[in-house]
Amino acid sequence: MRRNGLLIGMLSGLALTACGMSAEEVAGTEETSESQRELARYPTKWTLTNGTTQALTFSCTCPTPYGLPFAVNMTTTTVGAGQSTVLAWSSFFNDGLGLNACTGGGWSCRTTTAGGSVYATATFPTSWGQHLTLTAQPGGQLVKQ
């Protein structure tokens, strides 16, 4: 029985390491700072800014997020002319499981007008739990900052 328990203990450590935890975290020697604990309570946030003179609808998708078997789609959000809104990814938190990194082809985002025509598009990668700003500019560009 002891051998089986030892094997299970070793395998669970390997599984944790394979899931993105460092050896120090697995061993329990890494301490969490106050700011890290504070961040863990808040979701990843994206600021959507419309710098144009018309309302635009923002939509984004990550077809292959790191570590997930499904695509992640941003809630389609309409932002008035000259306004901003903060989109909180309420089901993805900055606790190490933060909004999964979108690598490879990255996020595919677009803005559309009230009539449904595409105003601007952008493609970009993100890291884990990254806060960012997407700005629709008057010249027809969608810029990640």
Shared domain for 78 and 130, answered yes or no, is yes
Quote the domain boundaries for residue 9. 2-31
Q: Same domain, yes or no, for 56 and 109? A: yes
Give yes or no for a contact between 75 and 101, defined as CB atoms under 8 angstroms apart: no
Does residue 112 carry a pLDDT above 90? yes
Instruction: Indicate if 13 and 62 belong to the same structural domain.
Output: no
Task: Please tell me which residue, 44 or 7, carries the higher pLDDT value.
Answer: 44
Q: Do 88 and 17 fall into the same domain?
A: no
Taking only the tens place, the pLDDT of each residue in 96-107 is: 444 667 877 889
* pTM, two decimal places: 0.67
- Report the distance separating Cα 116 and Cα 56, nearest Å: 9
Asked whether residue 76 carries a pLDDT value surpassing 90, the answer given is yes
Q: Given pLDDT bands bounded at 50, 70 and 90, which one contains residue 30?
A: low
Q: Is 15 in the same domain as 83? A: no
Determine the pLDDT at residue 116. 95
Same domain, 26 and 55: no
What's the confidence (pLDDT) of residue 137? 98
Q: Which residues contact 75 (CB under 8 A, 6 or more apart)?
A: 87
Residues present in the chain in total = 145
Query: What does the angle CA 44 – CA 50 – CA 55 come to, to the nearest 5 degrees?
Result: 115
Number of structural domains in the chain? 2
As a whole number, mean pLDDT of residues 69-86 equals 92
Determine the Cα–Cα distance for residues 139 and 145; give it in Å rounded to an integer. 17
Rounded to whole angstroms, how far apart are CA atoms 90 and 134?
Answer: 18
Q: Residue 66 in contact with residue 101, Cβ under 8 Å?
A: yes
Q: Are residues 14 and 73 in the same domain?
A: no
94 and 116: one domain? yes
Q: Which residues pair with 111 in a beta bridge?
A: 58, 120
State whether 44 and 112 are in the same domain.
Answer: yes
The pLDDT of residue 53? 97
